[in-house]
Structure 1
Amino acid sequence: MKKRVFILAAVMLLSLGGKAIAQMDDCAVTLSLFAEPAKTKNYNAALPHYEKLIKECPKYHISIYQYGEKMFKHFIDEGDNSKIPAYIQNFEMRLENYPAKTKEGEVLSKIAQLKYENNIGSKMEQFNAFDKAYETDPDNFTSPKSIYTYFSLAVDLYDSGEKDIQEVFDMYDEVTEKIEDEEGQLAERLTELIDKQENGTDLSAKEKRLVNAYETNLGAYSKVKGSVNGKLGILADCENLIPLYEKLFEEKKNDVNWLKSAAGRLNAKDCETPMFYQMVQQLHSLEPSASSAFYLGRLAERDGKASEALDYYNQAVELESDPNQKVRYYRSIAENFRGKGQYGQARNYYRKLLEIKPNDGNSYLKIANMYAKSANNCGSNVFEKRAMYWLAAQMADKAARVDPSISGTANQTASSYRGLAPSKSDIFSAGMGGKTVSFSCWVGGSVRVPNL
């Protein structure tokens, strides 16, 4: 009896295994029938096989969804909006069946963008779709377009009375920080390659492609940042901020986070109001911090107390742990020294700033300007003094490459400085072609004279 039961079980197992193997073979055939025309963009021929795959073999291979995304994007780009629900379903099924191989924030933001661009759902539902993407996986919510749309919807919801203005301000701070973080990461990678190139090492074909990609993406983030600021518009002007914060001050004066945010916004807009001083003093009494020290430094600077302001700024740097805030403090210290003509000290702080935010083109441009202004003091003869302009031009070039938002100004500045550097005839007359000029003034370093 036991022997008969064992044999029957074995027969059933083999039968089931055979069916499973047959199904896998069928999935492989169907995937091939789908993938081959999809590879050649013959999507009309591929579509029926895709539909069979997601119904019968949804877990068979991730390429189902990878080719599916390209296929539906093609259909929609061609004007077939009837495919939008299937496009969204393709993203959702990939996330469901291949979560470990899918960037959730990226996929959810693509779904949200599709809903927004095709007016699916209310503005609040569209906003919530982006919010889910950002809250679930912020590291992979990196699309410049989606970041802007997310914020733009928040402002629209404020305009329609569905969101509070403070919520919009808080979101602006978060979105701006996100953009700056992404810019910083891209600029750091770009700077490494630029430095490698400037040191005389040829870049590989892959590295050149990366340089182009980094510069393109930096340009996209720069545009988005400008669009975000434009969308916020008059909401964050002093005319709106001052009465809003005056109204809320008594209620919120013991809320440290609110004081930091409000004082920060008033400071950023240079709003002239006695309430700013009240906020800063209150903040410093509740929680002496980097931000309160920084604001006290701003007040001291406005009163013409440069040394006192510098002390406060240095305190702010020591107390601050947030890199983005520390950038602001380093900038203020650098500007303080630059304004007093202490260029070496100013450059030190611009460099500290650039270590944190390597895409800050303005810092490179300020260094370039200081080099140019020091030309007459750096060299033992006219040729060496004018050679300083080559170094200044290099700094301006770097400003343009890491920060597309100022590329026009930076490129024009670099061209102007090169026009002030020794000409080809000067190089020939001095016999300096290909030689190196070293600088013994505060600038230090050297520059290689172009070969004729």
Structure 2
Amino acid sequence: MKTRATLILLALFLSFNVGFAQQDEECIINLTLMNDFVKNKKYDEAYEPFMKLRESCPKFHSAIYSYGERILKDKIEKTTGTEQVNFINDLMKLWDEGLANFPDKYTAGGILQDKAMLKYDYKEALGYGNKQVYDTFDELYKKAPESFTNPKGLYIYFSTIVDMYDAKEVEVQDVFNKYDDVIDKIGQEIDNYTQKLNPIIQKEEAGETLDARTAQYKKQYESYLENYDKISGSIDTKLGILANCEVLVPLYKRDFDKYRNDSVWLKRAVNRMFNKECTDDPLYVELVKAYDESSPSADTKYFVYNLLMSQGKEKEARPYLDQSYDLETNPLKKSQLAMRFGKSLRKQGNFGAARNYFQKSLELNPSNGRAHAEIAQMYAASANNCGDDQFSKRAVFWLAAAEARKAGKVDGTIRSYAEKLAASYEGSAPTRSEIFEKGNGGEVIKIGCWIGLSVTVPKI
């Protein structure tokens, strides 16, 4: 059968190419052999025809490089020492050859990312230290940031510079700068996949059935978002105690005069001081004022708002919150701002205003399940205050559970958490026996106070 298939391929090739040469025949035969061996995972047998193709007819077919990658990776896994290093270097050489011969199939940035990951995976065999590992990812970040999309790679990039700091090879400011770079990059990728996911979520919310291809895209986008979310948490953990007030305050005091007009430096300093709750230090006030003066924006107005709130100037602070929201034009960033405002108002106990901002966040980013989860938690926290009797108070938990279910439906990154939250709330709602005793199955209960909604008692 293999001979027959080869003859058919030869006949087809001859019919389109009168000048068919002996070399072309050998290329077809080797391509067929390589294809058969790789599909049957006989990589050792595939190596010889692969190498012949690579040397004699490198432009013959892109499979030389896609299948060759599998063949060489198998060799790398099975070998050690110098032999393994030679195969590692040969795989990197193969990627370069693939780019040169099939530029429509490869990108320089993609190859840089593949090389960086390969060098990290085999850093011990290659004899690489932290600096060499870091430099490979740094080259990718500087030369082709658009191709630096691997969540694991982004974590390695940051983690390695922390290890370099521990070894006294870099200063703490270098770590903070790289943290900001990587977090910004992760934010860009999250925005990218969120924008792709939102239209799919909107289709589902409208009751449309997703076709197989769209459902697969949804799964892929949610997977990337979940991985980026995990990596963000891991990066914060890796940063650890380095970013605390005892380190940040003297560092920023030292550099403030030098960077007082640098909006990027000020933004990062204010953000870190705010996130690490170093806002009681007088330096924070100076940083916020300088940031707002140098580059008024949605961010600066929000920090001024928080600053005034911390000083007890609530009436003076509120306009800055509205200014911040109005100044932002990017829908996803505006959604994030709305979430930030909602959380701030929730902490103040202003649940009604907080829900408005969480709902605004959802209008701008329908796949933001965290907004639904925040609303669910506020409903649950208000159960004792928003019912007329014990039954209606506990009925509030049905609203909370329904909102938590929405969170898991639209946002795969928190689906497990949302389902547990919903189950917990359902466990606090009236039981079937209580509904039976009350005899109100199917009735609509109005929930008062700030919630202002109705809930239907389940029929039993």
Range of TM-score over shorter length = 0.7 to 0.9
Question: Amino acid of the residue matched to residue 330 of structure 1?
Answer: A
The match for 2:114 among 106, 110, 116 is: 110
Moved more, 37-46 or 203-212: 203-212
TM-aligned CA deviation for residue 277 of structure 1:
1.0
On the 8 A contact 1:313/1:332 being kept in 2, the answer is no
Structure 1 residues 360-388: Cα deviation after superposition (integer angstroms, max 9, x where no partner): 54422111123334567889998887665
Deviation (angstroms), 1:73: 2.9
Displacement of 1:279 after TM fit?
Answer: 1.8
Is residue 183–residue 221 contact of structure 1 (8 Å, CA) maintained in 2? yes
Range with bigger deviation, 330-339 or 262-271: 330-339
Return closer, same or farther for 1:195/1:252 CA change in 2, 3 Å cut-off: closer
User: Are residues 448 and 77 of structure 1, via their aligned partners in 2, closer, same or farther at CA, if it must alter by over 3 Å?
Assistant: farther
Q: CA deviation at 1:97?
A: 2.0
Aligned-pair distance for 1:62?
1.5
Q: Which amino acid aligns with 2:190?
A: E
207 and 443 in structure 1: CA distance in 2 versus 1, 3 angstrom threshold: farther
Overall identity of the aligned pairs, in %:
38
Q: Deviations over 1:35-94 (max 9, x none)?
A: 111011111111111111111222222122112222333333445535322222222222
What's 2:4 paired with? none
Give the partner amino acid of 1:44. Answer: D
Question: C-alpha distance in 2, partners of 1:161/1:187?
Answer: 38
Q: Secondary structure at the match of 1:99?
A: coil
Q: 1:226 aligns with which of 228, 233, 251?
A: 233
Aligned residues of 2:270 and 2:288 also touching (Cα < 8 A): yes
User: 2:65 aligned with 1:96, yes or no?
Assistant: no
How far apart, in 2, do the equivalents of 1:138 and 1:444 lie?
A: 48
Q: Contact (CA 8 Å) 1:389, 1:420: kept in 2 or not?
A: yes
The answer to whether residue 399 in structure 2 is matched with residue 395 in structure 1 is no
Residue number in structure 2 paired with 1:84: 88
What are structure 2's unaligned runs of at least 5 residues? 1-16
Residue-by-residue CA offset, 1:284-334 (whole Å, 9 max, x unaligned) = 334433333222211111112223222112222333456676455423422
Alignment check: 8 A CA contact 1:105 1:134 kept: no
What one-letter code is carried by the residue in structure 2 that aligns with 1:275? L
Q: Counterpart of 1:419? A: 427
State whether structure 2 residue 371 is matched by structure 1 residue 367.
no
Residue number in structure 1 paired with 2:32: 32
Deviations 1:142-175 (A, max 9, x none): 1111111111223233344444433332221121
Taking the aligned partners of 2:101 and 2:151, their CA distance within structure 1 comes to: 27
- CA gap of 1:437–1:285, structure 2 versus 1, over 3 A, is same
Shift of 1:437: 8.3
Report the residue type matching 1:268 in the other structure. Answer: N
Quote the residue 2:12 is aligned against: none
Q: 2: CA distance between counterparts of 1:297 and 1:100? A: 51
Amino acid at match of 1:352: K
Residue number in structure 2 paired with 1:71? 71
Give the match for residue 6 of structure 2: none
Q: What is the root-mean-square deviation in Å for CA atoms of aligned residues?
A: 3.6
Higher relative contact order, structure no. (Cα contacts within 8 Å, ≥ 6 residues apart): 1
Determine which of 146, 150, 154 is the counterpart of 1:147. 154
Alpha-carbon distance in 2 for matches of 1:377, 1:322: 37
Task: Say whether 1:312 aligns with 2:320.
Answer: yes
Deviation per CA, 1:85-109: give whole Å up to 9, x if none: 2222222222222222224433321
Moved more, 205-214 or 280-289: 205-214
**Which residue of the partner structure matches residue 23 of structure 1?**
23
* 1:104–1:136 contact (8 Å) kept in structure 2: no
Distance in 2 (CA, whole Å) between partners of 1:202 and 1:426 is 37
Deviations 1:239-295 (A, max 9, x none): 111111111122322333322222222122111311111122233334433333222
Secondary structure of the residue aligned to 2:61 is coil
TM-score, reference length from structure 1: 0.81
Q: Which stretch shows the higher mean deviation, 32-41 or 57-66?
A: 57-66
1:51 equivalent in structure 2 = 51
Give the TM-score normalised by structure 2.
0.80
Quickly say closer, same or farther: Cα 1:450–1:60, change in 2 above 3 A: farther
- Structure 1 position 176, deviation (Å): 1.1
Distance 1:108 1:23 in 2: 33
Q: Deviations over 1:336-363 (max 9, x none)?
A: 4434554343223123334556665442
Shift of 1:413: 1.8
